[in-house]
Amino acid sequence: MGDLDGLSAIVTGGGTGIGLAIAKRFHEEGAFVTICGRRAHVLREAVLAIHPGGERVMPFAADITAEAEVVALVERAVENAGRLDILVNCAGPMRIHKPPEETTLAEFREAIDTNIVGAFLCCREAGRVMMRQGGGRIINLSSMSGSIVNRFVHGGSYEVSKAGMNMLTKTLAVEWARHGIRVNAIAPGYYATEPNVEYFRAHPEAASQILDLIPTGKFGQLDELARLAVFLASPKVEYMTGSIVGIDGGYTAW
């Protein structure tokens, strides 16, 4: 047990990558964790990765852009754990690696709908519960791309959606401060997630170009990011709200 002993958390996008790393760490710190994603079989595998016996972890398949499914997610999490103390918005689409002039409206909307609309719906429903309880912690997984335009990568919708998530974070932090709800965001740089590892193995020249832009000279490790999430989710964090916390190896410091 640890800093989150006895607390209840929802982690969207909790079946893979950053979301799974955070869910694992929350569980290790004593939290009851509800992991959400669209694919039920991926969530089942994630439960086993978090705890082989499935103790203090529950999967819930949902599309966070569907309002009714988000309502059901929060209701089920509260029903199972008796409360909701932490929300981590980690669900997100892959970057569309196309020039803006070639990006379809559907592709643009996918990023906006997930990173802004979906995050808002999850925050709204979790916030309502947290208000009744007298407080809570919300962490939005943004990106350094919410404040910069990455080199060597086409974009548009991804950057715009993450910038919107940053402002959503600040707005809710101000609106809900009086309710004891602290809202912050994490803005990662390049991490050793499975899709990134596969891409850079297939494109070593791209990996070399990007590493040259990172002062630390390496990609981030998920465990460090997960530890930051634990800190922001902890009841010990009281005065910090509305912050966008960069963790990018110095990429944005140039």
Q: Please determine, for residue 109, whether its predicted confidence score (pLDDT) is greater than 80.
A: yes
Q: Please determine, for residue 96, whether its predicted confidence score (pLDDT) is greater than 90.
A: no
Q: Are 87 and 10 in contact (CB under 8 A)?
A: yes
Give the full edge-to-edge strand order of the sheet including 86-89.
57-61, 32-37, 8-12, 86-89, 136-141, 181-188, 244-247
pLDDT digit string, tens, across residues 38-52: 999 999 999 999 999
Q: Please determine, for residue 1, whether its predicted confidence score (pLDDT) is greater than 70.
A: no
Q: Please determine, for residue 254, whether its predicted confidence score (pLDDT) is greater than 70.
A: yes
The structure tokens listed for 3 are 């800093």
Residue 155: band (very low, low, confident or very high) from pLDDT cuts 50, 70, 90: confident
The chain-wide mean pLDDT, for the chain, equals: 95
Q: What is the structure's pLDDT at 196?
A: 84
The structure tokens listed for 121 are 């719906």
Q: Please determine, for residue 147, whether its predicted confidence score (pLDDT) is greater than 80.
A: yes
- More confident: 153 or 80: 80
Choose which CATH entry (3.20.20.10, 3.40.50.720, 3.30.565.10, 3.40.50.12780) describes domain 8-193+222-246.
3.40.50.720
Q: Please determine, for residue 171, whether its predicted confidence score (pLDDT) is greater than 90.
A: yes
What single letter denotes the amino acid at residue 154?
H
CB neighbour class for 91 (10 Å; exposed up to 12, middle 13-18, buried from 19): buried
User: Is the sign of the CA dihedral 100, 152, 169, 254 positive or negative?
Assistant: negative
Residue 238: band (very low, low, confident or very high) from pLDDT cuts 50, 70, 90: very high
Please pick, among 158, 190, 191, 251, the residue that the annotation labels catalytic: 158
Q: Please determine, for residue 154, whether its predicted confidence score (pLDDT) is greater than 90.
A: no
Q: What is the structure's pLDDT at 195?
A: 83
| Whether 191 is catalytic | no
The pTM for the full model equals: 0.96
The domain spans of the chain are 8-193+222-246
Q: What is the structure's pLDDT at 212?
A: 95
Cα-based distances in Å from 214 to 110, 113, 170, 192, 197: 29, 30, 27, 14, 16
Q: Please determine, for residue 106, whether its predicted confidence score (pLDDT) is greater than 90.
A: yes
Place of tokens 């719906």: 121
Q: What is the structure's pLDDT at 160?
A: 95
Q: What mean pLDDT comes out for the span 145-151?
A: 93
DSSP β-bridge partners for residue 34: 10, 58
DSSP β-bridge partners for residue 88: 11, 139
Q: Percentage of residues in the chain with pLDDT exceeding 90? A: 87
Q: What is the structure's pLDDT at 117?
A: 98
Cα-based distances in Å from 159 to 8, 144, 208, 226: 31, 9, 22, 22
